[in-house]
Amino acid sequence: MWAEKYRPQTLDEIANQKEIVSRFKNFVEEKNLPHLLLVGPAGVGKTTSILALARDLYGPGYRNFILELNASDERGIGIIREKVKNFARTAAIASPVSFKILIMDEADHLTSDAQHALRRTMEIYTKTCRFCLLGNYSENIIDPIQSRCSVFRFSPLEEPDLKAYIQGIADKENLDIVDEGLDAIYQAAKGDVRKSINLLQGAAANQKLIDDVAIYNLLGNVSPEKVREMLEVALDGRFLESRELLRELLIDQGLAPDDIIRNIYREIMRNSSLTEQMKVKLSDTIGEVDYRLTQGSRAEIQLSTLLAHLALVGEEMK
């Protein structure tokens, strides 16, 4: 998979997260490391960063001095008493530093008993092992563990960094990716690098030209252009015509109502011809329609109601 193929190997190759990378480089220079707790959304570089730190710290043979576990697979107290304790109690042999690193991904899935056992293990084997816990939510980690760790919070990649990274991969794979394709990947991935790379690879399996159509077809999502056209027709007062465009999206293309209403909301917020007061009124209507959809109301009727409100707003604009 391209996500593994293009995973950064050293701290210098990591995009974004500049402050965290700087701190990690200091750890490498000092050849010392505290227990770490890395938290943040999926696909923002938590695992990649700690593996890059380990490579910079130990050299090419870094795999001999680390152990990777996934707490979502083995989340009970047994994993702490067996695998974790057995790895942590043995000293590192022929290592440039005196400790090994245990990486526990999705640590926020550990049971409470397992976390309390882990806390005690972290205390006892500090000299021979450093613990690096990764998770999405720090509030699911007990306070005694958090107090023993240096906490680093990872944020989703910003738009310029993510687009530059995807463009670099496209260049290496001899793909022609247009700006609309990059925008579509960014909107779909929401800062998740792994998802962005997988989208690029999936689109590249069908064609060498990566545009927004290729990405939205891959996702099975509605294209913003079609939603924008439907909104423009509604705001022009042509309700019945906009309703036919809605039926095309819902029935002919089989798109999910929540995808359509999410795109409608985004396009309304971006529409410069609407006043703030109009956006407030429409946001209230969208919220009501969205709630009714979650309660099982008919999608076509509810979304048609929304288009009717847009047509009335369009008449006010005229």
**What is the C-alpha to C-alpha distance for residues 269 and 265, in angstroms, rounded to an integer?**
6
- Domain coordinates of the chain in residue numbers? 2-153, 159-219, 224-317
Q: What is the CATH number of domain 224-317?
A: 1.20.272.10
**What is the C-alpha to C-alpha distance for residues 207 and 82, in angstroms, rounded to an integer?**
49
pTM of the model as a whole: 0.75
Fold annotation for 2-153: Rossmann fold (3.40.50)
pLDDT tens, N- to C-terminus, the chain (318 residues): 888 888 888 998 887 788 999 999 999 999 999 999 999 998 999 999 999 999 999 999 999 999 998 866 666 677 777 788 888 888 888 888 889 999 999 888 888 888 888 898 898 999 999 999 999 988 889 999 999 999 999 998 888 989 999 999 999 999 999 998 998 899 888 888 999 999 999 989 888 889 888 888 787 766 677 888 898 999 888 999 999 999 888 887 777 888 888 888 888 888 888 888 888 988 999 999 999 988 888 899 999 999 998 898 888 776
Fold annotation for 159-219: Helicase, Ruva Protein; domain 3 (1.10.8)
The length of the chain in residues reads 318
Q: Is the dihedral of CA 131, 132, 135, 137 positive or negative?
A: positive
- Among 154, 161, 215, 166, smallest CA distance to 194 is for 166
